[in-house]
Amino acid sequence: MKEAKEKWVDDQCVAIEQALATAAFAKLGKIWKSSISFKAKHKLFRSLVSSILTYGCETWTLLADTGRRIQAFENKCLRKLLRISYIDHVTNESVRELVVAYVGPQEPLLATVKRRKLAWFGHVTRHDSLSKTILQGTVEGKRRRGRQKKAWCDNIKEWTALVMYELVSTAAPHQRCSTPPAVFPNAICLVSFTAFSPYTYTANSMVNAESRFVTEYDTSPLDAIPRGMFLGP
């Protein structure tokens, strides 16, 4: 009973945002049923629905069930936009292939949540603030018996395969050097040293002029977390 209550507390923020996003999606039902292009529908979905779901996602502690719910919500909305019914027996992979064919590669919502959490961790680590003290601080006492409740930082450790001291050193203030830092060795990405204007976004890159690094990544795998995601303000 206690574990079930703690799980509900962890998921309630995600559940609230998902309910608000579902309501916003339902209000736009006439647009989804209209004859406008899928590209226009997808842009509306990303700007009016996805933004509601991912609001404040930097503070979420993602559990396995939470990730599945986010993926299920996105798949359900994409099927609605494509006018594909569940009785048509079309797989989720086929739905995503159709989306890529219409509008090109898109970052899944779950990957967006992970990217924003990693960027927030880097932002907090590089600034002396109360948030940094809470995030990296410890308290006196012993841990309770049994399996420990998943913490916010546990997600970061799982996605990067790094321990806490490695994460802190990796996300340290940017150094102007000609050699990119070795972060996320298990990620699918390419990091190169270059100079661009601040926060210039292209189809498959995120550029931060302060660090003078450009990170290009393949967003097709749901769990692909690119290097350089600690880069941010």
Mean pLDDT for each 10-residue chunk of the chain (233 residues)?
A: 53 88 95 93 95 92 91 95 90 94 94 94 89 83 84 90 87 59 41 30 34 34 47 57
Residues 193 and 154 in one domain: yes
How many domains does the chain contain in total?
2
Q: Containing domain of residue 197, as a range? A: 112-217
- Using the 8-state DSSP alphabet, how is residue 199 labeled? T
Residue 12, pLDDT score: 84
- d(CA 125, CA 215) in angstroms, rounded, equals 20
On whether both 121 and 100 belong to a single domain, the answer is no
**Cα torsion angle, 120, 107, 82, 90, sign:** negative
* The predicted structure's pLDDT at residue 155: 92
Q: Are 77 and 158 found together in one domain? A: no
Cβ 41 vs Cβ 81: under 8 Å: yes
State the maximum Cα–Cα separation within the chain, in Å, rounded to a whole number. 62
CB atoms within 10 A of CB 138: 5
Cα–Cα distance for residue pair 55/162, rounded to 1 Å? 27
